[in-house]
Amino acid sequence: MDAHSVHGHCFCGNIRFQVSGPEKFACFCHCESCQRAAGAPIVAWATYARDTFSIEQGAMHWHDSSPGVTRGICGDCGSSISYENKQRPGEIDITLNSLDDPTAPTLRAHIWTEDKQPWLRIDDDLPVYTRTVSE
């Protein structure tokens, strides 16, 4: 697939950004940090090259949520937009549901299912990882 611009925005629309698609990877994350950051039982992420990410409008609030991890959120509406981990330099994860077209990325796995809420049932055929894909 050829590289193309992927656009997205937060809930209130103050922040608009772009990255270059297609995504390198996309997954459902069940980790407790994502649950707390989003106030949701699960967050779908797509991974892109960090140097293709740019903010077109507004100012991101950067939250250092755990050692080596920075999350980008809108300071006005609270939308969870991005995730960067120093262990994966050169990459940025974007919440699928911040994209103008959340259906574009192909979800490929469930990760961090050791933190999964017991009442959430996984009902697809994607691979399941207790922690990260590499572990």
Residues at the contact surface with Zn ion, assessed by CB under 5 A: 10, 12, 14, 29, 31, 34, 74, 76-77
| Nearer CB in complex with Zn ion: 52/132 | 132
Q: Let me know: does 16 contact 59? Beta carbons within 8 Å.
A: no
Enter the DSSP assignment of 107: P
In terms of CB distance, is 12 or 120 closer to Zn ion? 12
Least distance from C-beta 76 to Zn ion, angstroms? 4
Give CA separation, 116 vs 41, 49, 83, 96, 128, in Å.
8, 28, 19, 19, 11
Which of 34, 99 has the CB closer to Zn ion?
34
